[in-house]
C-alpha cells in the first residue's frame, strides 16, 4: 500500500493536503476502486474551486470557471456536487483537517509558553494561506441568511481555537484567561482581515515579534 501527499500550489504559498490514495490492482474494478476514482475527481474539482474562490471571491467565480480550471466539463461537476454552494461545502470539509492539525500540533508543543509561541508562529507563518481562506469565507460569512452552514463552521473552529487558548492562558496563570484568549483570537482574525486588504503595507514581522515580547515568549 502506498500513501502519497499532494501539495496544492497556490502560486505564493502552499497548502498541505493528504490524499488518501488507493491500491492499484489488475483485478476488475471493484466498487471501492470506482469510489477512489470518484474521490480523485472530486478532489480535483475542490482544489480548482478553492484556488478560484480565494483568488476571485465565490460570487465572481462561475461554475464554468471551475470546470475549466479543473479540466472537466461543466456537466460533470453536477455529478459530484448538487450545487455550486455544495462545492463550497466540500472545500470546508477539506479545510477542517488543516485547522484540526494545527491545533493538534500546537497541543504537542510542550510547555504552555512553547505552545503559545508555536501557535503565534503558525498563524504568521501560514498567514498568506489563511488570508486566502479568509478571502473565501469572510464575504460568505457576512452574508447572513444564505450560507448558514459557513457560520456553523466558523463557530466550531472558533470554539476549538478559543478552548486551546483559554487552556494555555490558564496554564500560564493569566488572571482572566478567557478574555485574554478572546483578545488574541480576535486579534488573529483582525490580522488576517487586514492582511487581505492591506497586503504588504502591514508590518507583519514586527507585529509577530511584538507579540512574542508582549507574552514574554
Partner DNA sequence: GATGAATGAGGGTTCATTCAT
Partner DNA sequence: AATGAATGAACCCTCATTCAT
Q: CA–CA separation, 79 vs 60, rounded Å? A: 22
DSSP 166: H
Residue 106 binding DNA, by CB under 7 A? no
Please list every residue from 50 through 89 that binds DNA, using CB under 7 A. Answer: 60-65, 72-76, 78-79, 82-85
Sign for the CA dihedral angle at 29, 66, 125, 171 comes to: negative
Q: What is the DSSP letter of 199?
A: G
Find which of a second copy, DNA, none residue 198 binds, CB within 5 to 8 Å per kind. a second copy
The yes or no reply on residue 111 touching DNA (CB under 7 A) is: no
Q: Report the distance separating Cα 182 and Cα 163, nearest Å.
A: 10
Q: What is the DSSP letter of 24?
A: -
**Distance, CA of 49 to chain centre:** 14
Spatial distance between the Cα atoms of 217 and 183, rounded to a whole number of angstroms = 17
Give least dist CB 31 to a second copy, A: 12
Q: State the minimum distance, in angstroms, from the CB of residue 18 to DNA.
A: 4
Q: How far is the CB of 212 from DNA (least distance, A)?
A: 43
What is each CA distance from 28 to 35, 36, 72, 78, in whole angstroms? 14, 14, 25, 27
Kindly state the cell numbers that stand for 120: 503565534
Residue 6 or 186: which CB sits closer to DNA? 6
Q: Which is nearer to a second copy, 7 or 198 (CB)?
A: 198
Closer Cβ to DNA, 40 or 159, answer by number: 40
The residues of the shown chain that bind a second copy, judged by CB under 8 A, are: 55-57, 59-60, 134-135, 138-139, 141-146, 151, 154-155, 158, 176, 179-180, 182-183, 186-191, 193-194, 196-198, 201-203, 206-207, 210-211, 214
Between CA 177 and CA 159 the distance in angstroms is 14
Window 12-41: contact mask with DNA (x via CB under 7 A):
------x-x-x--xxxxx-x-xx--xx--x
78 binds, among a second copy, DNA, none (CB under 5 to 8 A by kind): DNA
Neighbour count for residue 15 (Cβ, 10 Å): 20
> Which residues share a beta bridge with 19?
4
CB of 6 to a second copy, least distance (A): 26
Judged by the rule CB under 7 A, the positions of this chain that interact with DNA are 7, 18, 20, 22, 25-29, 31, 33-34, 37-38, 41, 60-65, 72-76, 78-79, 82-85
Amino acid at each position: 500500500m502506498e500513501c502519497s501527499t499532494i501539495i496544492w500550489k497556490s502560486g505564493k504559498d502552499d497548502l498541505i493536503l493528504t490524499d488518501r490514495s488507493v491500491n492499484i490492482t489488475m483485478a476488475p474494478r471493484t466498487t471501492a476502486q470506482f469510489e477512489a476514482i470518484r474521490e480523485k475527481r472530486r478532489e480535483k474539482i475542490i482544489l480548482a474551486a478553492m484556488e478560484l474562490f480565494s483568488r476571485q471571491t465565490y460570487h465572481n467565480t462561475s461554475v464554468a470557471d471551475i470546470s475549466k480550471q479543473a479540466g472537466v466539463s461543466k456537466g460533470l461537476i453536477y455529478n459530484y456536487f448538487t450545487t455550486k454552494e455544495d462545492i463550497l461545502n466540500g472545500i470546508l470539509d477539506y479545510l477542517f483537517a488543516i485547522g484540526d492539525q494545527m491545533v493538534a500540533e500546537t497541543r504537542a508543543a510542550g510547555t504552555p509558553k512553547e505552545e503559545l509561541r508555536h501557535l503565534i508562529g503558525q498563524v504568521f507563518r501560514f498567514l498568506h494561506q489563511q488570508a486566502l481562506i479568509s478571502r473565501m469565507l469572510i464575504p460568505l460569512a457576512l452574508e447572513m441568511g444564505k450560507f448558514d452552514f459557513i457560520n456553523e463552521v466558523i463557530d466550531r473552529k472558533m470554539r476549538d481555537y478559543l478552548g486551546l487558548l483559554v487552556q494555555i492562558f490558564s496554564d500560564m496563570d493569566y488572571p482572566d484567561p478567557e478574555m485574554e484568549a478572546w483578545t488574541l483570537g480576535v486579534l488573529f482574525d483582525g490580522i488576517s482581515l487586514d492582511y487581505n486588504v492591506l497586503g504588504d503595507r502591514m508590518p507583519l514581522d514586527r507585529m509577530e515579534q511584538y507579540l512574542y515580547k508582549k507574552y514574554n515568549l
